[in-house]
């Protein structure tokens, strides 16, 4: 039976898993319920080995093929965590956890890889070993980094690794990928501006950190507009402006700015970090205030290896008949930690005409499940053919 036909049969079962995950979202590394269900199902499917607690709450399943003449080991990774968002979908299976929501489709990713794992354990129609990886804390926690640091690649002998993400606005079941830099490095920063507060009616007796910080917000935009080569990509966003006072008649002593920098080039990343610090300190000095800059290099650029990208695209063409060229994406993706550790590729699968990810009305499209599951299986079988 063709792979997609089998997953069309399995669709109600996999959809039921997905709806359960959606109704019970968990954040960052606190994926204990989800991880437990994943491990339980992998054991029930007949995985040769199931390991829990890797990278704190990650789960790994090992599936051996009918034969193993070449010793090839391929890793397939899905993420499990949700977002701190209040759901507004009105679904019958909407989040039961207030302020938590699967607004990025990780419930779908986890369910699709579970479906693929069930099929692979049933058929074992490959020559080598498949390692299915269920990762926590993709949404800013660096779960991929934690799993790699916990020995993921070495312990299971993974030689190459693949990931997949749904993509709203693209027809259901279609695929897109690109070689080289794909998702941006995602850095976070905090600037603490310190002045001298006082009565709002006597601003001349203060060093006003709100005015200083306001100048910084504007000046930081010059990094993209005047410091970086316009043919290269950079995003500098100020996302939070907080003062220590909520009163109408008080000039505070401290203002805290927070934001992010996104880049696709290490030289641009270095430049952006340096200029952010220079602008913050220079602006503060000009206004008679001081600035403390805390810059955190978080997710690295996610780069698709050339050969693995073609393998992934070929698997997509086998499933859907085509694979489009994906755009550069300035969002971060911590699959980068896995693809830095081993050659790999990351692909997009269409989610249809839905709300965008990270939106309170977003929902993963269940009709994408057969294509996604089929791609995982095709990826394993094409990289480790029986004959």
Residue ranges of the binding site: 104, 106, 139, 165, 358
DSSP-derived secondary structure letter, 349: E
Distance between CA 323 and CA 275 in Å, rounded?
39
Phi-psi region of 315 (alpha: psi -120 to 50; beta: other; left: phi over 0): alpha
Q: Which two tokens stand for residue 247?
A: 């009163």
Say if CB 384 and CB 126 are below 8 A apart.
yes
What is the Cα Rg of the chain in Å? 23
Q: Please state, in angstroms and as integers, the Cα–Cα distance from residue 281 to each residue in 132, 288, 327, following that order.
A: 47, 10, 36
Query: How is 159-189 classified by DSSP, letter by letter?
Result: -EEEEEEEETTS-TT-EEE-SEEEE-EEEEE
Residue ranges of the binding site for Mn(2+): 104, 106, 139, 165, 358
Say if CB 103 and CB 89 are below 8 A apart.
no
Q: Which two tokens stand for residue 113?
A: 């890889």
Say if CB 89 and CB 363 are below 8 A apart.
yes
């Amino acid at each position: 039976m063709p792979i997609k036909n089998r997953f069309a049969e399995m669709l109600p079962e996999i959809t039921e898993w997905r709806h359960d995950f959606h109704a019970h979202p968990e954040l960052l590394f606190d994926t204990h319920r989800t991880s437990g269900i994943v491990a339980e199902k992998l054991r029930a499917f007949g995985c040769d080995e199931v390991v829990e607690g890797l990278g704190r709450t990650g789960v790994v399943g090992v599936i051996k093929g009918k034969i193993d003449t070449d010793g090839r080991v391929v890793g397939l990774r899905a993420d499990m965590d949700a977002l701190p968002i209040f759901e507004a979908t009105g679904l019958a299976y909407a989040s039961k956890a207030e302020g938590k929501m699967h607004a990025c489709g990780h419930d779908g990713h986890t369910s699709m890889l579970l479906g693929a794992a069930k099929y692979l354990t049933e058929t074992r129609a490959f020559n080598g070993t498949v390692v299915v990886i269920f990762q926590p804390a993709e949404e800013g926690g660096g779960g991929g980094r934690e799993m790699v640091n916990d020995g993921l690649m070495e312990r299971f002998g993974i030689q190459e690794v693949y990931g997949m993400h749904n993509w709203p606005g693209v027809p259901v079941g279609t695929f897109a990928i690109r070689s080289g830099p794909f998702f941006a490095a995602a850095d976070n920063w905090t600037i603490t501006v310190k002045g001298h507060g006082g009565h709002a009616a006597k601003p001349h007796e203060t060093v006003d950190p709100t005015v200083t910080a306001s100048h910084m917000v504007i000046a930081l935009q010059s990094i993209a507009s005047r410091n970086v080569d316009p043919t290269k990509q950079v995003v500098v966003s100020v996302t939070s402006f907080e003062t220590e006072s909520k009163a109408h008649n008080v000039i505070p002593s401290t203002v805290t700015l927070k934001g992010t920098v996104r880049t696709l080039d290490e030289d641009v990343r270095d430049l952006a970090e340096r200029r952010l610090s220079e602008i913050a300190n220079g602006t503060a000095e000009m206004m008679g205030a001081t600035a403390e800059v805390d810059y955190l290099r978080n997710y690295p650029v996610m780069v698709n290896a050339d050969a693995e990208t073609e393998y992934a695209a070929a698997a997509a063409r086998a499933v859907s008949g085509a694979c489009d060229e994906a755009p550069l994406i300035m969002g971060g993706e911590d699959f980068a930690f896995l693809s830095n550790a081993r050659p790999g590729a990351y692909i997009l699968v269409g989610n249809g005409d839905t709300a965008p990810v990270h939106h309170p009305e977003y929902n993963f499209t269940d009709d994408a499940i057969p294509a996604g599951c089929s791609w995982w299986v095709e990826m394993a079988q094409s990289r480790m053919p029986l004959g």
